[in-house]
Amino acid sequence: MTGYIISVLVSAGIFALLAQGLNLHWGYTGLLNFGVVAFFAVGAYTMAVLVSVFDWPLWAAMAAAMLAAAVLGVLVALPAIRLRSDYLAITTLAVGEICRIVLHSSPGVVDLTGGPSGIRGYSHDFFGLRETLGLQWMTGLEFLMAAVWIVVLLVLLVVTVMIRSPWGRVLKGIREDEDAMRALGKNVVAYKMQSFAFGAALAGLAGVFFALNLSSITPEAFLPMISIYAWVIILIGGGGSLLGPVVGSVLFWALFNATTFIPSEWMSSQDAAYLRLILVGLLIMVMVLLRPQGLLGNRKELLRESRH
Amino acid sequence: MKADTELATDPDAGATAAAEAEAFLTADDVVMTFGGLRAVDGASFDAPLGRITALIGPNGAGKTSLFNVISGFYRPRSGVVRVNGVDRTGKPPHVMCRHGVARTFQLTKALARMTVLDNMRVAAPRQVGEIMFGAMLAPWRVRAQERANTTRADELLERFGLTRLRDSYAGELSGGQRKLLEMARALMLRPRMLLLDEPLAGVNPTLGVQLLDHVQALRDEGMGFVLVEHDMDAVMRVCDAVTVMANGRTIARGTPAEVQADPVVIEAYLGAEDD
Amino acid sequence: MDEALQLVADGVVVAAALAVAAVGLSLIMSVLRMINVAHGDLLTVAAFAALVCVNAGLPLVIALIVAAVASALIALGLELSLWRRMRARGGSNFSLLLLSVGLAYVVRHVLFLIFGEETHQYAPPTRELAIGPVYMTREGLTVVAGGAVCMIGLAALLKWTRIGTAMRAMADNMDLARASGVDVARTSAITWVIVGVLTGVGGVLLGIGGRIFPNMGWNIILLVFAAVVLGGIGTAAGAAVGSLVIGVGQELVTHSALGLPPEMKQAFVFLFLVVALVIRPQGLFGARRYV
Ligand SMILES: Nc1ncnc2c1ncn2[C@@H]1O[C@H](COP(=O)(O)OP(=O)(O)OP(=O)(O)O)[C@@H](O)[C@H]1O
Ligand SMILES: [Mg+2]
């Protein structure tokens, strides 16, 4: 049981960061990003490559991972941000796949990423910190859990301050009506780029912890499924609510990992995995049909949908 | 000769002089098309500060399209838009806004899932807190600005009779209340020229009268207005000058009385009603 | 040169199946303004429906018909139970898109649960025939012929039948169509039936040309989007041209002269999709909304 709780909390923390990034894009700025996995992957790989190939210290590699994800965010947004929202969704979905394929088999890139066999040996520094800090009484996983959740809370604090500031208000305005904001003298494209880069950096940070939770990362760990998980979490928690991604993530992983309790006489672990994904799909459908504002979302904030 | 040297040594003075000579906002021979349809087909008009200029014309005349060109939402095929004597044709809306030209929309654009107060405050120009990380780097300045903007927003809401709705979501307002909110919000920008696209449509008559009183008061303080409106009584009562559009062209301009008597204008309106 | 020609021929086979898949997605996007992410997985369902028939000893032609009918019924059922209800409640295009993402996950993993991970074929592949300088299998030729029949049939239906006219009217301007007497609910339902049949045939053609496995539809959904976007939404010709560009293009980038690993070919197609969306969202060919 404690094993279950810790594994849920580790995953939930990582995905709370990822979903917070998506929350900035979708929940606060109205940008339909179906490719957060691209930034997640770039964050994970940047950290892993810098630490294991170039021997960078962990903290520097982490900062570089966030920066790399943000830069990719700007590069994607530069041409794509003006697209109709559903086309932006397809474009970002494709960008996620391009990233994965490039990490898997692009000449030049695979020399660093190890291609399909992946990359390993980047997490000693992180788990070494445990001794440095005198926290040997914790298991490695517990240490990771603690670290992730400290970061989740810090990010929550930063995002809360930013969203409640006039900057966040402009983003919400853009989500509501771009043209109105343009008429009010706001440079909408610039704000969308900022939101996109910031959310991408958070997704990159999530990717760092995702990699630390695995002894090695391969491109197959970054399927479009990851983006979908982030969406489900936002749907559960409610887009445009600060705590939504955190609560949504915990509920999602509690439910997702609960399928490990299915006795193996009933169902093979492979079938249980399929069942889990059916559950993910059903969850999306139920949330869209019954509670489109999410569990924490505000009913009143839905007025717009009912009017159109 | 003397004017020439003045222009060369002090371009700013030249611009101001030019602006005094011609109007603050001018549109010259503007053409704007949707595919094959020439929505604006060579329209010209000007609007000085301290005046309310009406822009009238039958439905589909191209008034809204012309607004969209002036405010930078659409790029014209040809023609020139000048603000304060400087060519600003095709500049994006946020730039036009910075040059003092603001607008409202015929179909209101309330920010539905934000409160009325936030609808107002978001419009305030030059906020330090709107810079990314601004609120973290200069929290005190942001807070001071925020207080000032809230005070101003509350004043305007009071003026427009929206104080009661201050903390409601804008999506909950009625059509008329949205019109009022939109105008109040545009005033947060402290524009020098405000383009109003049918501000009275859907507003109840008593409020409508009050709204026009505000417009006249602001005009007397020196602001300029362009008013698109179908309510002729209102137009004739408050406007200083009238420009008439039909089929994308400006067909007449003058004082309300002159325009009302112009046979071309009467023809245009009757012709439109025949369709 | 021979290598290039062979790659073009392979690409044409891919394109034929892709076109049938793409035109269904495209019709729904234009007539109902919905992006159906589950489209790929519904193709897979049809391919498996035919597989079940073939395994039961039925000839492939009968299996194709069964798959088309089943697929049409599923499409109609979903319209009546899900999409219509969502639209009636004022759900945005975005909530329809999300709903279809959920549906895609459910459908695909139910297939995994039933059929497992193995790949299947309708019949062992036949010997390759030399046609001029290139080699093609009988299956490949069947796919090209089937694809051509579907595309021409659909183009004719859109152009000359009353329902085709109604669909074009809705694609053009929903409100205007309603105002001029188009029965929107009925036209939507029939559109789904037509798309269902196309999905059924498309899925089976994909199965004939390649292999049948639960991820087959999902794996190509982005290619299908790419074809639709390139060709322009809502036209049979557009879907065909878009599919040819995608199908042939992705084979050609594997040409040995370029020295790229074959796995990279999809990355190029996606890149092409992104570029196409960014520079010409209304499609490289064909007008924006007209059929
Ligand atoms: N987005 C658009 N796409 C295509 N045509 C348009 C569009 N907007 C307006 N039009 C057309 O351009 C012409 C001018 O329209 P516009 O809205 O500028 O007129 P208007 O004078 O504001 O009319 P109203 O008094 O009804 O508001 C009309 O024929 C209209 O149908
Ligand atoms: Mg108008």
Q: How confident is the model at residue C80 (pLDDT cuts 50, 70, 90)?
A: very high
Distance B76 CA to ligand 2 centre (A): 17
Pull the structure tokens for residue A126: 């992180």
Measure the CA–CA gap between C153 and C236, rounded to whole angstroms.
9
Cα torsion A295, A174, A171, A185 to 10°: value is: -160
pLDDT tens, residue by residue, B199-216: 998 888 888 888 899 899
Plot region of A139 (φ>0 → left; ψ -120 to 50 → alpha; else → beta): beta
Which residues 6+ apart lie within 8 Å of A299 measured at CB? A293
CATH number of B17-110+175-270: 3.40.50.300
Which residues 6+ apart lie within 8 Å of C214 measured at CB? C44, C48, C108, C109, C111, C112, C115, C117
Instruction: Identify the pLDDT of residue A65.
Output: 97
pLDDT > 70: percent of chain C: 96
Place of tokens 């939101």: A195
pLDDT tens, position by position, for chain A (308 residues)? Answer: 788 899 999 999 999 999 999 999 999 999 989 999 999 999 999 999 999 999 999 999 999 999 999 999 999 988 888 887 777 888 898 899 899 999 988 888 888 888 888 898 898 888 888 888 888 888 889 999 999 999 999 999 999 999 999 999 999 999 999 999 999 999 999 999 999 999 999 999 999 999 999 989 999 999 988 999 999 899 888 888 899 999 999 999 998 888 777 777 777 888 888 988 898 899 889 888 887 766 665 555 544 433 33
Partner A contacted by B135 (CB < 8 A): yes
Name A251's bridge partners.
none
Instruction: Identify the pLDDT of residue C49.
Output: 96
Which residues 6+ apart lie within 8 Å of C283 measured at CB? C229, C230, C231, C232, C233, C238, C242, C276
Q: SS3 for chain A, per residue?
A: CHHHHHHHHHHHHHHHHHHHHHHHHHHHCCCCCCCHHHHHHHHHHHHHHHHHCCCCCHHHHHHHHHHHHHHHHHHHHHHHCCCCHHHHHHHHHHHHHHHHHHHHHCCCHHHHHCHHHCEECCCHHHHHHHHHCCCCCCCHHHHHHHHHHHHHHHHHHHHHHHHHCHHHHHHHHHHHCHHHHHHCCCCHHHHHHHHHHHHHHHHHHHHHHHHHCCCEECHHHHCCHHHHHHHHHHHHHCCCCCCHHHHHHHHHHHHHHHHHHCCCCCCCHHHHHHHHHHHHHHHHHHHHHHCCCCCCCCHHHHHHHHHC
Is A184 in Cβ contact with B97 (below 8 Å)? yes
Residue of B33, B37, B195 best suited for mutating to test ligand 1, as the one with most atoms within 8 Å of CB? B37
Q: How confident is the model at residue B158 (pLDDT cuts 50, 70, 90)?
A: very high
Of A85, A274, A308, the CB nearest to C109: A274
Distance B197 CA to ligand 2 centre (A): 7
- Which positions in chain A have a beta carbon within 8 angstroms of at least one beta carbon in chain C? 32, 79-80, 83-87, 89-91, 93-95, 97-98, 101-102, 104-107, 228, 231, 235, 271, 274-275, 277-278, 280-285, 288-289, 292, 305-308
Instruction: Identify the pLDDT of residue C288.
Output: 42
Q: Which atom of ligand 1 approaches the CA of B63 most closely?
A: 21
pTM summary value: 0.88
Write the single-letter amino acid at B148: A
Set of chain A residues whose Cβ sits within 8 Å of the Cβ of C104: 281
Do C257 and C2 contact (CB within 8 A), yes or no?
no
Instruction: Identify the pLDDT of residue A252.
Output: 92
Per the domain annotation, does A68 fall within a domain? Answer: yes
Pull the structure tokens for residue B155: 């004043």
Which residues 6+ apart lie within 8 Å of B137 measured at CB? none
Domain C2-116+138-279 has CATH 1.10.3470: yes
Chains that touch A (3 or more CB pairs under 8 A): B, C
pLDDT tens, residue by residue, C8-26: 888 899 899 999 999 999 9
Kindly report the nearest CA distance between residue C273 and chain A, in angstroms: 7
Partner B contacted by A176 (CB < 8 A): yes
* Residue B274 scores a pLDDT above 70: no
Q: What integer is the mean pLDDT of B142-171?
A: 94
ipTM of the complex: 0.87
Which is more confident, C67 or C171?
Answer: C67
Sign of CA dihedral A46, A48, A53, A58: positive
- Reduced to 3 states (helix: H, G, I; strand: E, B; else coil), residue C104 is helix
Instruction: Identify the pLDDT of residue B272.
Output: 56
- Reduced to 3 states (helix: H, G, I; strand: E, B; else coil), residue B102 is strand
Instruction: Identify the pLDDT of residue B17.
Output: 47
Ranking B48-52, B126-130, C259-263 by mean pLDDT, the lowest is: C259-263
Instruction: Identify the pLDDT of residue B18.
Output: 45
Pull the structure tokens for residue B206: 């008593």
Which residues 6+ apart lie within 8 Å of C105 measured at CB? A228, A277, A278, A280, A281, A284
Kindly report the nearest CA distance between residue C228 and chain A, in angstroms: 12
Instruction: Identify the pLDDT of residue B37.
Output: 87
Measure the CA–CA gap between A268 and A156, rounded to whole angstroms.
39
Kindly report the nearest CA distance between residue A241 and chain B, in angstroms: 12
Kindly report the nearest CA distance between residue A303 and chain C, in angstroms: 11
Q: Whose CA is nearest to atom 29 of ligand 1?
A: B60
Instruction: Identify the pLDDT of residue A85.
Output: 76
Distance B250 CA to ligand 2 centre (A): 15
Domain boundaries, chain B: 17-110+175-270, 111-172
Nearest CA in chain A to B94: A185
Look up the domain containing A201 and give its range.
Answer: 2-222
Measure the CA–CA gap between C201 and A127, rounded to whole angstroms.
55
Instruction: Identify the pLDDT of residue C266.
Output: 80
Per the domain annotation, does A186 fall within a domain? Answer: yes
* Ligand 1 binding residues, C-beta < 6 A: B 34, 37, 39, 57, 59-65, 106
- Buried b / exposed e over A207-217, threshold 16 CB at 10 Å, is bbbbbbbeebb
Instruction: Identify the pLDDT of residue C36.
Output: 92
Is A300 in Cβ contact with B135 (below 8 Å)? no
Q: Whose CA is nearest to atom 26 of ligand 1?
A: B59
